[in-house]
């Protein structure tokens, strides 16, 4: 247990926070309507569910393009470079140390917003899972144009639908764990508050190692 006092640092810029919560809303709506379109339950009615799903899906695609653009131009993409250093320490923290009240092995800082486990998860999510989900979604949406685009015979709707459906489970699973993980800060709501206000409370004087820094020279 650390004795250092807590200080607030401005960790998440306005755009990051907007993107995070907009994305949260879109993902929530997409999951909600997606499972209805699949036939899991009836909530909005099929037609409304499809319309909401298509609208939010395209909206997310637009947002995603902006996010990628922002990440590239600000250099923040480096926050997502995967590393194995301290990866196991972080994993051990969540598996064992957290129950013993031990401190998190990797502190948050402006230059290192994500711990190694987060980096890996978010990279996998935003570089593989989400693009594939958007791609399959877009193909699903434009099914009627496949013939005109010469895609007939290359894809099958059932395969596209199946991938889209399978990945939805992974996103839902991520969402559950992600929401739970927000409670593992120094208080149950600390991380959520930080994501809302931009200010994260961290212990003063925590040294950020060079390798952790996003903009840093690695």
List residues binding other proteins (CB under 8 A): 1-2, 22, 37-39, 42, 45-47, 50-51, 54-59, 61-63, 66, 94, 98-101, 103-104, 143-144, 156-158, 161-162, 165-166, 168-170, 172-173, 176-177, 180, 183-184, 186-187
User: How many Å apart are CA 144 and CA 128, to the nearest integer?
Assistant: 25
Q: How far is the CB of 117 from other proteins (least distance, A)?
A: 14
- Strand, coil or helix: 155: strand
* Pick 62 or 154: Cβ nearer other proteins: 62
User: Cβ-count burial of 65 within 10 angstroms (0-12 exposed, 13-18 middle, 19+ buried)?
Assistant: exposed
Quote the least distance from Cβ 170 to other proteins, whole Å: 7
Instruction: For residue 207, give both structure tokens.
Output: 């040294």
Q: Which residues contact 65 (CB under 8 A, 6 or more apart)?
A: none
CB 27 to other proteins: min, Å: 14
**Residue listed under structure tokens 């596209």:** 160
Of 178 and 213, which CB lies nearer to other proteins in the complex structure? 178
Query: H or E segment at 7?
Result: strand 6-10
Closest approach, Cβ 81 to other proteins, in A, equals 26
Q: 8 with 199: CB under 8 angstroms? A: yes
Question: What is the number of other CB atoms lying within 10 angstroms of the CB of residue 104?
Answer: 20
Smallest separation, CB 173 to other proteins (Å): 4
Q: Considering the complex, state which of residue 39 and residue 84 has its C-beta at the smaller distance from other proteins.
A: 39
Alpha carbon of residue 59 to chain centroid: 16
Q: Phi, psi (5° rounding) for residue 59?
A: -60, -40
Q: Which of 12, 3, 22, 17 is nearest to 64 (CA)?
A: 22
- Please, what is the minimum distance in Å from the beta carbon of residue 211 to other proteins? 23
Question: Of the two residues 76 and 97, which places its CB atom closer to other proteins in the complex?
Answer: 97
The smaller minimum CB distance to other proteins, of residues 10 and 143, is found at 143
Nearer to other proteins, 50 or 89 (CB): 50
């Amino acid at each position: 247990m650390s004795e250092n006092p807590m200080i607030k640092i401005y960790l998440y810029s306005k755009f990051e926070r907007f993107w995070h919560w907009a994305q949260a809303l879109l993902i929530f709506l997409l999951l909600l309507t997606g499972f209805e379109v699949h036939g899991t339950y009836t909530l909005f009615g099929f037609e409304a569910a499809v319309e909401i799903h298509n609208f939010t899906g395209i909206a997310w695609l637009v947002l995603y393009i902006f996010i990628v653009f922002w990440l590239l131009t600000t250099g923040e993409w480096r926050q997502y470079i995967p590393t194995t250093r301290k990866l196991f320490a972080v994993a051990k923290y969540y598996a064992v140390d957290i129950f013993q009240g031990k401190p998190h092995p990797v502190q948050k800082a402006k230059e290192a917003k994500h711990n190694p486990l987060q980096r890996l998860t978010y990279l996998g999510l935003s570089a593989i899972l989400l693009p594939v989900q958007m791609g399959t979604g877009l193909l699903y949406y434009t099914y009627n144009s496949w013939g005109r685009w010469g895609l007939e015979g290359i894809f099958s709707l059932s395969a596209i639908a199946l991938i889209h459906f399978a990945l939805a489970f992974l996103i839902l699973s991520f969402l559950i764990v992600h929401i739970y993980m927000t409670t593992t800060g120094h208080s149950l709501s600390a991380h959520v508050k930080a994501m809302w206000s931009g200010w994260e409370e961290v212990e003063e004087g925590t040294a950020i190692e060079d390798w952790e820094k996003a903009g840093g020279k690695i």
